[in-house]
Amino acid sequence: MNRIKTSIGLSFTMLFFFTSVLTFSSCSDDDSKITEEEIAEIDDTDFEATDWTTATHSNDADPDFDEVFEDNAVKRLDIVITEARWQSMLDDMTNLYGAFGETSGGPGGPGGPGGPINEITTEDPIFVPAKVFYQDKEWYRVGVRFKGNSSLQTSWRNGILKLSFKLDFDEFEDDYTQIDNQRFYGFKKLSLKNNFNDQSMLREKVATDVFRNAGLVSSHAAFYTVYVDHGNGPEYFGVYTLVEEVDDTVLDEQFSDDDGNLYKPDGDAASFALGSYNESEYVKKTNEDEADFSDVESLLSILHDDSRTTDPVAWRTNLDAVLDTDVFLKYLAVNTVIQNWDTYGKMTHNYFLYNNPDTSKLTWIPWDNNEALETGNMGGSLPLDFAGLNASEWPLIAYLYQDSVFKTQYDTYVQEVADGAFNVSTMQATYATYSALVQPYAIAEIEGYSFLNNSSDFQNAINELNTHVSARATAVSNYLD
């Protein structure tokens, strides 16, 4: 693995000052002259977007899902970042999470800037402008940053530079007029996920495919290899899963109206436990300037209303007026059949709620599925009958499952999922197809840019997926019997 620089790079402000001093200095010593590369680093606005076409770069084109999210291919993306900007990204990560490769914490140990290993910062890493290349075309001054929470921190502190990226193609349009409303085949924002804790590298894509095949709103995903050039030529960062962003094209393409409130709950309020209401933890992704949280507030109020036990018919009617309970129960069936522990029911994050203007109901949207399709951590995924679930901590699951009408609906969806979107023969065929595509690129990953310890880890993980889907069919049969 290439050595990661640990020295603190010049900030852009300091570099600008440094350039100004040298430019206007009378000193003629060649060693003190600013280089052309450093000048370009400061003022890189003078360029022509020669690869720009309506279909590939403009927001006038519809999203090209066939091009960007092709199922039966592993495509390549190249990200080119100047050395100084790359160093600024690394320095920012050090400030957020501590020194690279130091699992005990930041500089000086557990008391350093990174804090304890389990402490998750709420601050996003910085964006920098970069070039993105795909199929011999360039996208200009694309906003690129590292992304993730515990997966980002753990990868960084374990010395794995295969980090997830977020791409925003017009993040810097105010600084570069040439890229006004720049898109990538109709997409403004995309996530490149590093398949953390997934040696098969299939789970993120397969899970989101299963959700959509079951008739639920869910992101598209596809396999990509990623190369990053930060001053020393392209370096192979490994196999990634490109994921469609919910607050971009998912709303535009899977709902008829994208003007509703979109929330990404994170924190205690995301549990909907009694007394947990906190507007700051219902993070708005649309309509951010409007202080209207009445929809999520109503959901919490109705969920905990006494009518749940005194008048179940009225409670179900009122709940269904604010929450699309049919969608939630289908989601719950899919999520529990495939097993996915890193979301509601175990963790207070990794889902969206969208107030669909067509129905005025909050609609559940799954997100971040790299931990799906396995028993999982934190005591494992929830059982199909939710035995052991703390009702007061996770009332949205517990209260609906305790209601006989909602439980019957859930059980019906469990059977449908096992027979349809997650049936054994279909899934094992999918695993065979996808693993054959990904395998050459997976075993080519290199130390420091991979979660594989050796080449056999990949095939072992595929075998586990095949065993898992068979086991889940048995679990469904036993549950419904």
Is 90 exceeded by the pLDDT of residue 3?
no
| pLDDT tens profile 141-198 | 999 999 998 899 999 999 999 999 999 999 999 999 999 999 999 999 999 999 999 9
At 460, phi and psi to the nearest 5? -60, -40
Which pLDDT score, from 0 to 100, does residue 378 have? 84
Query: Is the pLDDT reported for residue 106 higher than 70?
Result: no
Q: What is the pLDDT of residues 363-376, one digit of tens each?
A: 999 999 999 999 99
CA 386/CA 363 separation, integer angstroms: 22
* SS3 at position 38: helix
What is the predicted pLDDT for the residue at 379? 86
Condensed to tens digits (0 to 9), the pLDDT of residues 420-429 reads 999 999 999 9
- pLDDT category of residue 42 using cuts at 50, 70 and 90: low
Rounded Cα gap, residues 452 and 293, in angstroms = 44
Decide: residue 363, CB within 10 A, 0-12 exposed, 13-18 middle, 19+ buried.
buried
Share of the chain above pLDDT 70, in %: 87
pLDDT for res 109: 33
CATH 1.10.1070 domain locations along the chain = 256-481
Per-residue model confidence (pLDDT) at position 25? 35
Q: What is the mean pLDDT of residues 456-475?
A: 98
Q: Give the pLDDT score at 121.
A: 64
How much is the pLDDT for 103?
A: 74
pLDDT band at 439 (very low <50, low <70, confident <90, very high): very high
pLDDT in tens, 310-320: 999 999 999 99
203 to 29, 103, 222, 417, 428: CA distances (angstroms): 58, 26, 11, 17, 13
Angstrom distance (rounded) from CA 122 to CA 115: 13
Which stretches does DSSP call E strand in 128-220? 128-134, 137-146, 165-168, 189-193
Phi, psi of 341 (to 5 degrees): -85, -25
**CB-count burial class (<10 Å; 0-12, 13-18, 19+) for 351:** buried
Mean pLDDT of 376-394: 95
Q: Average pLDDT over the chain, rounded to whole?
A: 90
Give the dihedral sign, CA 341/345/347/353.
positive
Q: Are 262 and 288 in contact (CB under 8 A)?
A: no
pLDDT > 90 fraction of the chain, expressed in percent and rounded: 85
- Residue 19 confidence (pLDDT) above 90: no
* pLDDT for the residue numbered 238: 98
Give yes or no for a contact between 146 and 161, defined as CB atoms under 8 angstroms apart.
no
Query: Does position 14 have pLDDT exceeding 80, yes or no?
Result: no
- At the top level of CATH, the class of 256-481 is mainly alpha
* DSSP string across 307-362: HHHH-HHHHHHHHHHHB-HHHHHHHHHHHHHH-B-SSTTTSS-SEEEEEETTTTEE
| Separation between Cα atoms, residue 339 and residue 83, nearest integer Å | 42
